[in-house]
Structure 1
Amino acid sequence: MSDPTGDRAGSYPTALGASSRETITLLGQDLARDVMGNVGFGELAFWLATQRRPEPGEVRVFEAVLAALADHGFTPTAIVTRLTYLSAPDSVQGALAAGLLGGGSRFLGVTEDCGRFLHDVIEGIEGIDGLDAPAESLDGAAFWDGVALDVVRRQREAGAFVPGLGHHVHKDGDPRTPRLFEIAREEGQFGPHLALFEAIGRVHPEVLGKRLPLNGAGVCGAALADLSLPMELLRGFALLARTAGLIGQLAEEIRHPVANEVFLSVDLHNRPVAPDPLPHHT
């Protein structure tokens, strides 16, 4: 029988955490001496995902995104977390997991959807019809307005929504959006994804005939994309932020429980109706 601590024929390289009897290393740093007490959690999360230590301006934008997505009140993710805790108070991990599993196309997933959408447009920018602006004008509002008009028209013709456009509550403007634009500009992190998203906000009424707000989840996706974070992980960062919010929901549920009232409000008001069978196909 082989010794699990002895030499192995193969190896599993990692630049992340590794342990010996004396030390723990993380990202090439001594965890206890160099990281603990010296690196904030937001900075560390960015560093873990990119394996490069972020600049202070990148950290500020990244942490602003985490703050923007942490908690939105009694959303389905928060309610299911509280209800799961009501059902299984011995399983905090189950309650948190239940809430995170609800991070999909309507809640939290918009961050990923918008970031990917903008990224795909920018990747194919040379193929957009009717745009012959010189390269030096790529930062200009007129250029991005032209790109945005083309994109919104294409989405409308396809009968598809523009990710990040519209909000069910903040119909007159999501307060997170201009603030994140402002922070990104202050820190020199306002890149093409944010520029295109901002332009969509300016020009979409010309195509849609009405003005919709640029929502916070969408602007977060644009900001994360401008930080060059992996597209495949954008929803992961939204879930990272929401984990903190769900812990807050559980902490409040313990002190001031409402989950049982939510449960009873449904259970005591159910109304029996006749079965509505699905069509039977032969």
Structure 2
Amino acid sequence: MTDERSYPTGIGTSTSETIELLGLDLASEVLGTVSFGELAYWLATKRRPTAGQLRVFEAALVSLADHGYTPTAIAARMTYYSAPESIQGAIAAGLLGGGSRFLGVTEDTGVFLHEIVAGLGDTAEWDDERWDAVARDAVSAAKASGRKVPGLGHPVHKNGDPRTPVMFRIAREAEVFGPHLSLFEAIGRVHAEVLGRTLPLNGAGVAGASLADAGLPIGLLRGFALLARTAGLIGHLAEEQQDPVGPSIYMEVDRNARYVPPASAPSQA
């Protein structure tokens, strides 16, 4: 009796003559026909995006590609300085920093919104007043439990993230403005009533809401943020190869480090 093993996948396969991807012949039906953004969406969902979904998806990726000398970019540059033979290590180092303060906010916001939206039923005919009531309850509940509302506030863009209104506009134009964006927009309108201060809706948050309304899996939202930031990190590393700042950062910290001897261990009787 043979011991048959099966490892099913709907992504792709290959033979000595062909490569098949998502049920199509890669060479004759995908190359030169399907854009990278469309392929990324298709791989994640196993369905082709509509034109509107693709526009919002690619806009979100562009919005997350880079934000200057963030810790992720610095980590990538410093790793490259330490191991210039390892581009993959430098990129990985930058991606590993995608967490609750940088990049991970995209997923955190999407999850936060989705947990609320999933219980609302059909919201297609809701007006701003109904969304404001739900948003008010959501912010109040977060405050009562000591949680921050993800996607609210930004360390640099104190007076408004320039990406946010553009993403709202693109989603409306693409007819992909659904319940996640509606709730996020409402949070922007009402949160000050609950929190007593006005905070901007940040770009990572609106990206998460946009990706959710575009039909991307909620559990993969951080993956898309990392996909976008990979392009930005490659740009930083290309710049690092031509005009490196890693050595200066290293010397700045190393030469200004202040050694503080550890406290003496208590004597034992």
Q: Give yes or no for the alignment of 1:81 onto 2:76.
A: yes
Q: Give yes or no for the alignment of 1:116 onto 2:111.
A: yes
Change (3 A) 1:277 1:117: farther
**Structure 2 residue aligned with 1:4:** none
TM normalised by structure 2 equals 0.95
Q: Give yes or no for the alignment of 1:166 onto 2:161.
A: no
Q: SS of 2:20's equivalent?
A: strand
Contact 2:53 2:215 (8 Å CA) reproduced = no
Q: Distance in 2 between matches of 1:277 and 1:29?
A: 68
TM normalised by structure 1 equals 0.90
Contact 1:138 1:144 (8 Å CA) reproduced = no
Contact 2:123 2:179 (8 Å CA) reproduced = no
Corresponding pairs, count: 266
Q: SS of 1:18's equivalent?
A: strand
Contact 1:145 1:203 (8 Å CA) reproduced = yes
**Structure 2 residue aligned with 1:145:** 132
Contact 1:148 1:196 (8 Å CA) reproduced = yes
**Structure 2 residue aligned with 1:272:** 259
User: What's the offset of the Cα at 1:278?
Assistant: 9.5
Q: 1:41 aligns with which of 36, 39, 44?
A: 36
Instruction: Write out per-residue CA displacement over residues 36-92 of structure 1, whole angstroms, 9 at most, x where no aligned residue.
Output: 111110110000000101111111100000000001110000001000000000111
Q: 1:244 aligns with which of 212, 231, 248?
A: 231
Q: 2:220 aligns with which of 233, 242, 245?
A: 233
Instruction: Write out per-residue CA displacement over residues 125-157 of structure 1, whole angstroms, 9 at most, x where no aligned residue.
Output: 37xxxxxxxx67743111100000011111111
Identical aligned residues as a percent: 63
Q: Distance in 2 between matches of 1:257 and 1:143?
A: 53
Q: 1:258 aligns with which of 245, 255, 267?
A: 245
**Structure 2 residue aligned with 1:65:** 60
Q: Distance in 1 between matches of 2:8 and 2:261?
A: 61
The amino acid of 2:217's aligned partner reads P
Q: SS of 2:160's equivalent?
A: coil
Q: Distance in 2 between matches of 1:8 and 1:72?
A: 52
User: What's the offset of the Cα at 1:180?
Assistant: 0.4
Instruction: Write out per-residue CA displacement over residues 167-218 of structure 1, whole angstroms, 9 at most, x where no aligned residue.
Output: 0000000011110000000010000000000000000111111110000000
**Structure 2 residue aligned with 1:106:** 101
